[in-house]
Amino acid sequence: MLHLPPMPLRLNRADMTVREKIWQLNWSLIALLTAVACIGFATLYSAAGGSLEPWALKQMIRFLVGMTIMVGVAVVDLRFWVRHAYLFYGIAIVLLALVEVKGTIGMGAQRWIDLGFIQLQPSEIMKITLILALARYFHGATLQEIGRPLFLIPPLAMVMLPAALVLKQPDLGTAMMLVMSAGAVFFMAGVRLWKFALVLGAGLAAIPLAWEFLREYQKKRVLIFLNPEEDPLGSGYHITQSKIALGSGGLFGKGYMDGTQSRLNFLPEKQTDFIFTMFAEEWGMIGGLVLLTLYALLIAFGYAIALRCRSQFGRLMAHGITTTFFLYFFINIAMVMGLVPVVGVPLPLISYGGTAMLSLLFGWGLVMSSYIHRDLPVSRRGLHDD
Amino acid sequence: MYHDNDRAKLFSRRAIMLGAGKSVLITGLAARMYYLQVIEADKYAMQAEDNRITTRLLAPPRGLILDRNGVPMAINQQNYRVMVVAEQTPSLDYTLDALSRIIPIGEAERTRIHKEARRRRSFVPVSVRENLTWEEVARIEVNAPDLPGIIIDVGQSRYYPLESLGAHIVGYVSAVSENDMSDDPLEELPGFRIGKGGVERTYDLALRGRAGTSSLEVNSVGRVHRELERHEGEPGIDLHLTLDIRLQQYAAQRLGDESAAAVVMDIHSGDVIVMASTPSFDPNSFNRGLTTEEWKDLSTNPRAPLTNKAITGQFAPGSTFKLVTALAALESRDVNPDMRVLCTGHMQLGNIKFHCWKKEGHGSLDLVGALKNSCDVYFYEVARRVGFEKIAEMARRFGFGSPTGVDLPSERSGNIPDRAWKRKVMKQPWHPGETLINAIGQGYVTATPIQLAVMTARIANGGFAVVPHVARDLVVDKNMRSRPTPDWPSLDISAQSLALVRRGMFAVSNEAGGTAYKARITEEGMWLSGKTGSAQVRRISMRERETGVKKNEQLPWKERDHALFVAYAPEGNPRYAIAVIVEHGGGGSAVAAPIARDIMLEVQKRDLARATTEPSGPPDSGTEDLRRF
């Protein structure tokens, strides 16, 4: 079972010093995150054939930057996030729209904004800020209000707008992740189950219609997912080779830096979306289970923090971000093992990529902020409530 | 607080629900991992190895073929070829244009190169041209900076330095056709050649050697990363023949432009020392690739340069067959050796008249006289008394009617007819007259030159069933060992009968009036004893006999008699047997006997005895240019 430190005396105070807050940081959570990130560094080192270039070193720097941001976010008063939740959401929307206007073409989809020093992927930022905004919206809502359908229209719009923008890029995976993690927030906020059933039913009914709107490559991916062996050297190649790599790793793996499939380039995008395959080829099922356990522990920490929060905002945000994190690794691992179609979802904290790393650590910063301020009562508008 | 307790309780309840859901999903991932990495691990491990490793065969050098003195007859030559790597060229056409200024490249070639380049990965070299001359190689190398993507590669190809000399025995190699496919992985190598004729074919397995393998680690596009393992193959076995290539050359020259064959063999060991068949062909042309015209010339030539007449030519043996008839008669005891027959120039059987070659007749003759003069009537009479069945039986004992078993492909068996054969093939009964005709080697009797040589050898060696061979050592599949000391089974012919027949052969060559007296050897200790034969290939009509039988010179080539001669030497202590046949050459005594005489003289002068009892001559003897002889 998780062990949380005993409740210090002054946690309900709004005027904790930064030093006190840093003392309150959840160090085991930080250790877990660092452990996962280190697995990532080692795997990226191996993917480059035993070299820090071009991936591992950059990833370490990003992690250090991310950790700093995380700590910074964690010590910021929770009420600040309540007050400025919509602002961050708005910035993310603007960035998403910018991608639409002047994004660079990458991997056949418009996903990046080149800011010079970093390739910004606003869809990754949106995954966090959407949770933030929804938590803010439901924070002050009573169960009666939530029961009114009209009350649910603004948050639905908050989900649909970015989802539509992301879908237009087109990035089916991220759009679905946004919808699912938002759904989790709706659910935790107390939206009735039958309403989910209704939306789900409507969604299923809309599938034939949605199919028409899918791009050719998206249709192909779904079809190939359903039958990958049909085209082993064509588009099914990714899944087939990924399964070969995983399976040939066996129980104990081929040994660090000895994964033949990845070394000999049979594995596509081994440093990004398919990095789990490479890891599991070299470390086997044992390695895979260790990583899975680390992820599961992170989820458990997230839950513990969410349940421990006194404010609805903290609860919803901590749980929402935990769920987003869960969706990241679940979809990615399920994808490389051929359980779900190939969608562009990275393995959190491990896949090479700056924006995802930074926004995820930003997210964990928020979770930690709700941990540090777990006993802080938060008013409806984010003001101190006496 | 806004009903915070309710919301917190709801949150906790639903958190447990979602948390449980997540746990199930994570367990699902673990289960999938177990399925892929434990249950299906073997399958995927195999596929990963398949992905990773390709095995390439290393072609072993083909064994050499050498004559009995070590003169190379078939060797491996470096074959320079120019190849192009598409990914290293700015464009394939640019490089080919540049290359075509140095060596000509035809339109068809260009199309082929483009086709092959498209089919393969861009880093795989595509052959542009093979068998480059040294000058071409040099010019390409000098211009290398202007020829991006061009590489020169050295392979091995078979080369026959003696060209047409001994070509029928050595044979040739060519690409593997579908019918030749066995399970030897070597055959799948591009450019691999297998033996198609002669000893190249008989001993193909031994000459091939064993393939080596090289296991290469390749990446997803097939580019080689490193060699994991290498097993060197075994080169093919070097094959020594019993042929003496100088004698072979002498014989071939002596046969000249005739469509002819000559076989010389050791009567004790069975070593074939000469096996010439003219005209011959250049086996290198098969490796080079024949033009349609060359092929047409070779295959439609009436003198059949591609066939080894020594083992596949089936000719009526003519009077040389009288040796068999004589032995059958003597062994049957139906004929007394002293029996005399009066030859009046013909013999009457029923209402048919059987002619002797000498119209005016030979008068009274005994066996030796009949052989010496090759009297037909004497052997008609003998055959009439003995019957053809016994003659056929004797012929088979001496190797007729079935392949001799020489170690060369496509040997023919000739034909020894009998009643059963005629009923089966001709659907007719045996006529008594056919006994007479076949007894003098005409009619249905046919034999190959090597069968005639074997017959002569068996007469000369005292009646032992010697079997000829051209490989010095005994080679079975891929193993080689020395031949055991010959221990041929006896043919069960009495010494007296053999001596009497040899006495007749001596008279043929060495007594005035013998049919080959003019072609005798006068050198002391090298005398030969033989038997002539002139096989008629057309029917002489009654009318022609009345007006006078046409001389061979008056007839078109195709209608002339085959000239034959068989002999052994030296008289007294025989060692060599020879058979010579000149297709449509005319008379045996005038055409075949002098050739045989010259060859036998040369053979004995070469003193093969020393060459075989002592270790074969210095190896550098092979470097001499034989063609200058």
What domains sit in chain B, N to C, each tagged with a CATH number? 58-240 (3.90.1310.10), 245-281+307-471+489-612 (3.40.710.10)
Query: Would you tell me the crossing angle of helices A172-189 and A153-168 to the nearest 10 degrees?
Result: 170
Strands B65-66 and B239-240, sheet pairing: parallel
Average pLDDT over residues B580-604: 91
* % of chain A beyond a pLDDT of 90: 47
Rounded distance, CA B350 to CA B117, Å? 80
Measure A95 CA to nearest chain B CA, in Å: 31
Among A243, A244, A269, most B C-beta atoms within 10 A, so best to mutate, is A244
Rounded distance, CA A182 to CA B587, Å? 112
Structure token digits, residue A133: 């905004």
Asked if A138 and A159 count as a contact pair (C-beta separation under 8 A), the reply is no
- Please determine, for residue A148, whether its predicted confidence score (pLDDT) is greater than 50: yes
Asked if B251 and B225 count as a contact pair (C-beta separation under 8 A), the reply is no
Rounded distance, CA B297 to CA B306, Å? 10
Rounded (5°) CA angle B595-B597-B598: 65
User: How would residue B448 be classed by pLDDT, with cut points 50, 70 and 90?
Assistant: very high
Among A143, A144, A188, A340, most B C-beta atoms within 10 A, so best to mutate, is A188
> What pLDDT does B629 receive?
36
Asked if A382 and A83 count as a contact pair (C-beta separation under 8 A), the reply is yes
Query: What domain count does chain A have?
Result: 1
Q: Determine, yes or no, domain membership for A276.
A: yes
Residue B340 or A241, more confident? B340
Q: Which of B426, B435, B444 has its CA nearest to residue B390?
A: B435
Residues of B whose CB is below 8 A from A184? 18
> What pLDDT does B617 receive?
40
- Kindly give, in sequence order, each residue whose CB lies less than 8 Å from that of residue A354, ignoring residues fewer than 6 positions away: A58, A62, A118, A119
Return the amino acid letter for B626: L
Mean pLDDT across chain A: 85
- Is B336 strand, coil or helix? coil
* Pairwise CB contact (< 8 Å): A264 & B225: yes
User: CA B291 from chain center: how many Å?
Assistant: 22
For B451-510, the pLDDT digits (tens) are: 999 999 999 999 999 999 999 999 888 888 888 888 899 999 999 999 999 999 999 999
* Pairwise CB contact (< 8 Å): A187 & B18: yes
> What pLDDT does B78 receive?
80
For B262-281, the pLDDT digits (tens) are: 999 999 999 999 999 999 98
Which of B19, B29, B49 is the closest to A334 by Cβ? B29
Locus of tokens 């087109």:
A170
> What pLDDT does A33 receive?
96
> Which residues of B sit within 8 Å Cβ distance of A?
1-4, 6-8, 10-12, 14-15, 18-19, 22-23, 25-26, 28-30, 32-34, 36-38, 40-41, 43-45, 47-49, 51-52, 217-221, 225
Q: Determine, yes or no, domain membership for A10.
A: no
pTM score: 0.63
Q: Which of A168, A186, A167, A187 has its CA nearest to residue A177?
A: A167
Q: Determine, yes or no, domain membership for A89.
A: yes
Asked if A66 and A354 count as a contact pair (C-beta separation under 8 A), the reply is no
- Please determine, for residue A8, whether its predicted confidence score (pLDDT) is greater than 70: no
Mean pLDDT across chain B: 86
Rounded distance, CA B313 to CA B583, Å? 10
Rounded distance, CA A239 to CA A338, Å? 6
Kindly identify which residue of chain B lies nearest to residue A284, measuring between CA atoms.
Answer: B37
Average pLDDT over residues A229-249: 73
* Pairwise CB contact (< 8 Å): A260 & B36: no
Which H, E and C letters describe chain A, residue by residue?
Answer: CCCCCCCCCCCCCCCCCHHHHHHHCCHHHHHHHHHHHHHHHHHHHHHCCCCCCCCHHHHHHHHHHHHHHHHHHHHCCHHHHHHHHHHHHHHHHHHHHHHHHHCEEECCEEEEEECCCCEECHHHHHHHHHHHHHHHHHHCCCHHHHHCHHHHHHHHHHHHHHHHHHHHCCCHHHHHHHHHHHHHHHHHHCCCHHHHHHHHHHHHHHHHHHHHHCCHHHHHHHHHHHCHHHCCCCCCHHHHHHHHHHHHHCCCCCCCCCCHHHHCCCCCCCCCCCHHHHHHHHHHHHHHHHHHHHHHHHHHHHHHHHHHCCCHHHHHHHHHHHHHHHHHHHHHHHHHCCCCCCCCCCCCCCCCCHHHHHHHHHHHHHHHHHHHCCCCCECCCCCECC
> What pLDDT does B624 receive?
40
Measure B68 CA to nearest chain A CA, in Å: 54
> What pLDDT does B613 receive?
45
* Pairwise CB contact (< 8 Å): A246 & B221: no
Provide the number of CB pairs (under 8 Å) joining chain A to chain B: 139
Kindly identify which residue of chain A lies nearest to residue B22, measuring between CA atoms.
Answer: A326
Which residues of B are part of the catalytic machinery? Answer: 319
Q: Determine, yes or no, domain membership for A381.
A: no
Return the amino acid letter for B556: P
Average pLDDT over residues B601-612: 72
Q: Which of B106, B150, B103 has its CA nearest to residue B126?
A: B150
Rounded distance, CA A163 to CA B82, Å? 59
Q: Determine, yes or no, domain membership for A362.
A: yes
Average pLDDT over residues A175-194: 92
> What pLDDT does A236 receive?
66
For A23-41, the pLDDT digits (tens) are: 888 899 999 999 999 999 9
- Please determine, for residue A7, whether its predicted confidence score (pLDDT) is greater than 70: no
Residues of A whose CB is below 8 A from B217? 260, 264
> What pLDDT does B618 receive?
41
Rounded (5°) CA angle B264-B265-B268: 155
Q: Determine, yes or no, domain membership for A68.
A: yes
Q: If residue B564 lies in a helix (H) or strand (E), which one and from where to where?
A: strand B562-569
Measure A7 CA to nearest chain B CA, in Å: 19
- Please determine, for residue A230, whether its predicted confidence score (pLDDT) is greater than 70: no
> What pLDDT does B1 receive?
45
> What pLDDT does A382 receive?
67
- Kindly give, in sequence order, each residue whose CB lies less than 8 Å from that of residue B329, ignoring residues fewer than 6 positions away: B335, B367, B382, B383, B385, B386
Which domain covers residue A232, as residue numbers? 18-372
Residue A103 or B406, more confident? B406
> What pLDDT does A229 receive?
57
Residues of B whose CB is below 8 A from A299? 19, 22, 26
Return the amino acid letter for B106: G
Among B11, B24, B38, B123, most A C-beta atoms within 10 A, so best to mutate, is B11
Residue count of chain A: 386
Residues of A whose CB is below 8 A from B216? none
Structure token digits, residue B559: 């209608």
CA dihedral over B501, B502, B506, B508, signed as positive or negative? positive
Average pLDDT over residues A350-363: 91
Asked if A167 and A325 count as a contact pair (C-beta separation under 8 A), the reply is no
Residues of B whose CB is below 8 A from A303? 15, 19
Residues of B whose CB is below 8 A from A266? 48, 51-52, 219-220
> What pLDDT does A377 receive?
83
Structure token digits, residue A273: 């979306």
B154 burial class (0-12, 13-18, 19+ CB within 10 angstroms)?
exposed
Q: What is the ipTM of this complex?
A: 0.90
Q: Determine, yes or no, domain membership for A250.
A: yes
Q: Determine, yes or no, domain membership for A383.
A: no
Residue B100 or A236, more confident? B100
For B41-51, the pLDDT digits (tens) are: 888 888 887 77
